[in-house]
Amino acid sequence: MSGPALVVLLLPAVLLVALLAGAFRRPLLAMLPFLVALNGLAIDIGVNVHVDQLLAALLAAGLALAVAMRRRRLYVDAVSLCILALLCLNVLSSALNSPVPGYSFQQVLNAGSVFAVYVVITNDLDTIGAVNDFFATSVVAGILCATFGIAMFVLGLAGVTTWGANIGSVDPGAAYGAYGTLVEPNVYGSYCQLYFIAALGILLLDPPGLGLRLRRRLQVLALTAGLGLFLSFTRGAWLGAICGLIALVVLARRGLHRSLPIRRAVVPLVGAGLALTAVAFSPSSAGEFFRYKAANLLNAQSATATVRLVTFVVAVAQVAQRPILGWGTYSFAPMTAGGGDFKELIGHGLWIPNFLLLALHDTGIVGLGVVIALVVAVIVLGRRAVARLRESRLDVAVTETALLAAFIGVLVTSQFASGFSLGYWWLFAGLVGAYARVSRTDRSARS
């Protein structure tokens, strides 16, 4: 059957599924934080398809159909406009310059389904209560994902399983550590870092109106995500967490006009110090690898840093040939492979682990500018939302501050192991954007 005939045959089914997605968008959306945590469990149908991307695409189709039928109005903010511009640039650069346009267009669809996470969150969560409920659901998902990764690491050390954690030979260039249901330790560490900063930030600022159930869950999340962050043995995530905590202090002082109470941080800091000391002096492979990572935290000549440096040099050399629009979506591996099996090389880590350099390589200077504008837009939306809410809804303003600090922290991590193309990155950006949206509604209602 030809392609057009197949499209015509499947069109009624697609429309029906989109209608169902629109009708059940809230329960489907509540599944998204759990599916985002399953990114390491891809479905192979010739290409790797992730369940969170399928759900986001389904919800986006339902939203588009409802807008077309004039049942809903489309909410568009500055971040959404940047997403649209970035997708258009990826299509243009892939059509003009990609050495493998078919593969690049396939990856444009892949990226679009991830970007859709932001769009559906900001469109479907239109009240403070709805965003709070979604955040509470995300907390549960974060606890489950972090805990599973920790359990797999412990079971791996005990020799019970070989999945969910890399605990074999201590190779300085290997991705040693827990990863659970995510792709590998770098991604797991980045994921845990986001949840750790968000949970710890809310607990330290301790806003009035924070329910007992949510407080208990946040305490569990801070503990599990913090331990998961440590057991990922990812220096980029550790540095990102430090930067996230610094961002939290600055945002709380400037946005909320509050200082972090040091006394609330004493117990977790002491506990973390004792845990780090125990691991640092442990004779196990975990202790050996931790000592290596700690000694080389800022070492630009370590094994992994050297690999990244070589990758960056090659990518920059390719950018110099097409500086304006770049080479097309995910074109680095095909170009570097020089006609070889680039998909096999991708499986062995041949990709650009820096989201700014990735944007520059794939979409040129123009695309890099759009990505920077997108990041700035998220931060500006978050800060304005805090300013609107700090007088009337301090609890929500604190949550927005903690989410924004976590997002800023993961920007640092994404310079070493990009999560830009993964769902959890856009889940947190979507929460920041959703709170920004409802902060305007809340202000209008009070006026």
- How far is 38 from 6, CA to CA, in rounded Å? 31
Q: What's residue 11's pLDDT?
A: 54
Q: Which of 37-41, 189-193, 195-199, 342-346 has the lowest mean pLDDT?
A: 342-346
Q: What's residue 166's pLDDT?
A: 84
The full set of domain ranges for the chain reads 78-302+343-446
Q: What's residue 41's pLDDT?
A: 81
At 88-138, the pLDDT tens digits run 999 999 999 999 999 899 899 989 999 999 999 999 999 999 999 999 999
Q: Which of 110-119, 154-163, 290-299, 303-312 has the lowest mean pLDDT?
A: 290-299
- pTM here is 0.88
Q: What's residue 251's pLDDT?
A: 95
Helical residues (DSSP H) of 176-255, grouped into ranges: 185-205, 212-231, 235-255
At 70-83, the pLDDT tens digits run 888 999 999 999 99
312 band by pLDDT with thresholds 50, 70 and 90: confident
User: Within 10 A of 281 (CB to CB), how many other CB atoms are there?
Assistant: 10
At 369-427, the pLDDT tens digits run 999 999 999 999 999 999 999 988 999 999 999 999 999 999 999 988 767 888 999 99
Check residues 298 and 182 and name the one with the higher pLDDT. 182
- Closest CA relative to residue 54, chosen from 69, 67, 41, 71: 41
Distances (CA, A) of 255 to 17, 127, 238, 325, 429: 43, 22, 25, 37, 18
Name the most confidently modeled range: 60-64, 348-352, 408-412, 413-417.
Answer: 408-412
221 band by pLDDT with thresholds 50, 70 and 90: very high
- Closest CA relative to residue 407, chosen from 397, 395, 396, 419: 419
Helices 185-205, 212-231: axis angle to 10 degrees equals 140
Q: What's residue 351's pLDDT?
A: 76
Q: In this structure, is the dihedral angle defined by the CA atoms of residues 416, 364, 54 and 435, taken in order, positive or negative?
A: positive
Q: What's residue 174's pLDDT?
A: 57
Inform me whether the pLDDT recorded for 366 exceeds 80. Answer: yes
State which H helix or E strand residue 165 sits in.
strand 165-166
Distances (CA, A) of 236 to 232, 241, 364, 429: 10, 9, 25, 20
Mean pLDDT throughout 56-61? 90
